[in-house]
Amino acid sequence: MSAAAERKIGPLLATGLVAGNMIGSGMFLLPATLGAVGSVSVVGWVIATLGAFATTAVFAQLGRISGSPEGLVGYAGEGLGRFAGFAVALVYWMGAWVGTVAIAVAAAGYFVVFVPGLARPAPLALTAVALIWLFTALNIFGARAATRFSGASLVAGLAPILFVSLAGWTWFDPKIFADSWNVSGRSDLDAVRASMISVFWAYTGFESAAIATSVVRDPRRNVPIATYAGTGVAALVYIAASAALMGMAPARALAASTAPFAMAVGRSLGPAAALVVAACGLTKTCGTLCGWILVVAESGRAGANAHLFPGRFAGRDGRMPTRILLAMAAVMSAAALATISPTLGRQFGVLINVSTVWAIVPYIVCAAALWRLAAPLAGATRAATRTAAVLALGFNLWLLSTSDRPTIIACGVLTVAVVGLWLGLARRAGGAHAA
């Protein structure tokens, strides 16, 4: 086996990357956001799970049909042309690093439990910056180091979540769950719609193996395995833990907490247990941050290798593109400082909403690409593949429609910027990059 092949990851580590990137800040912090909606948000989790699996099927099929080493960028370009590849590369890259900043902010927030002085906005932001640079350094050592840490943190993070998923039902109070059903002041349907973008934030990451195709051994086989398995693990954990949590503490108490998981466990087992859960949450969120820095770097590397981003950002022989890692650490640090807000929840909410919408756009493009790439397949296989593409396309378009107006406007501005940038590049290249 070559040195490059030895540095690549197999299905187990790839599954850990997918599950680890999903089960992170979303699981530990979202109950506070969803507490403002109520336990009706469990319905949102079920809908999001179905939509996530529909979208997961798109990436699993693209991995089998295309096998492009450039992941999402290659899938979109192969199915819909170079402009689609460029748009996916840029939009996903931007969404990924915005989401990574949100994770860094969340990780810094967990330090508040142990170092209360960090609760002030400026120290919190500086802590997030320090974490970004720490895990950027770890990623420079290579994909295996990053995925091993992410996988190890998954074990630590899953411990309290699995505990709540199973033992939490011992303290589940049906009356608390019922009384907290809908505290939003809206109809149940509107409450669920309003929660969808926030809920789906927890599912972004199921495409991680597809993004990191170049560091996965035998991607045609292992990317689909990792994508389905990682999403399945996350879905089981999300639904069981969220439902149990909504019966352990009132929705309004969850909404007011900066560490809702720790708070709910503390109500049942005392403050010492709350500290243990907070420590596990901190460990897991750091692991998620490490994994997402890898994904951000790989999405940029894929764009460079497809000649859509500057060539100096391309990696070689499975090594991490150090220039991308350093450049993105600088950009993410600036974003963490620029979005300092009076409260952690407000800063986190803004970041995850923008990140989720920017992730949905590439999902839509890739679903359309799968429809085109399925054309040469045999009858029944083609029909099944195109059905998966239509289901994913429909869900993600609907999901996009549930977003608030400011986020949609931001997405529209980005679209204009992408088109303008593409036209500028095409003109400079004398039309060589035309779709």
8 A C-beta contact, residue 365 and residue 84: yes
394 confidence band (pLDDT: 50, 70, 90): very high
What confidence tens digit (pLDDT) does each residue in 125-176 have? 899 999 999 989 888 876 677 777 777 777 777 777 778 888 888 899 999 9
At residue 370, does pLDDT exceed 90?
yes
Which spans in 143-270 are helix H? Answer: 143-166, 174-179, 188-201, 208-211, 219-246, 251-256, 260-269
Q: What per-residue confidence (pLDDT) applies to 428?
A: 59
At residue 92, does pLDDT exceed 50?
yes
According to the per-residue pLDDT averaged within each range, which of 113-122, 272-281, 386-395 is highest?
386-395
What confidence tens digit (pLDDT) does each residue in 201-232 have? 888 877 776 666 667 887 777 878 888 888 88
Would the pTM count as exceeding 0.75? yes
- Look over the chain and give the mean of its residue pLDDT values, rounded to a whole number: 81
At residue 393, does pLDDT exceed 90?
yes
What confidence tens digit (pLDDT) does each residue in 337-367 have? 887 877 676 777 778 888 888 889 889 999 9
Would you give the distance in Å from CA 156 to the centre of its chain?
19
Buried b (16+ CB within 10 A) or exposed e, 125-163: bbbbbebbeebbebbbebbebbbbbbbebbebbbebbeb
Query: Percent of the chain at pLDDT above 90?
Result: 16
What confidence tens digit (pLDDT) does each residue in 63-91 have? 778 767 777 778 888 889 888 888 888 88
Q: What per-residue confidence (pLDDT) applies to 86?
A: 82
At residue 378, does pLDDT exceed 70?
yes
At residue 111, does pLDDT exceed 70?
yes
Q: Residue 71 corresponds to which tokens in the numbers above?
A: 């992941």
Q: What per-residue confidence (pLDDT) applies to 248?
A: 92
Rounded mean pLDDT of 46-68?
85
Rounded mean pLDDT of 273-286?
86
Which residues touch 227 (CB under 8 Å, ≥6 apart)?
A: 18, 56, 59, 60, 63, 206, 207, 209, 210
Q: Among 266-280, 292-306, 368-382, 420-434, whose mean pLDDT is lowest?
A: 420-434
Q: What per-residue confidence (pLDDT) applies to 369?
A: 94
Q: What per-residue confidence (pLDDT) applies to 435?
A: 44
Q: What per-residue confidence (pLDDT) applies to 431?
A: 47
At residue 433, does pLDDT exceed 60?
no
Query: Percent of the chain at pLDDT above 70?
Result: 84
- CA dihedral sign of residues 31, 34, 35, 36: positive
Rounded mean pLDDT of 266-285?
86
**Domains contained in the chain, CATH given:** 3-404 (1.20.1740.10)
At residue 306, does pLDDT exceed 50?
yes
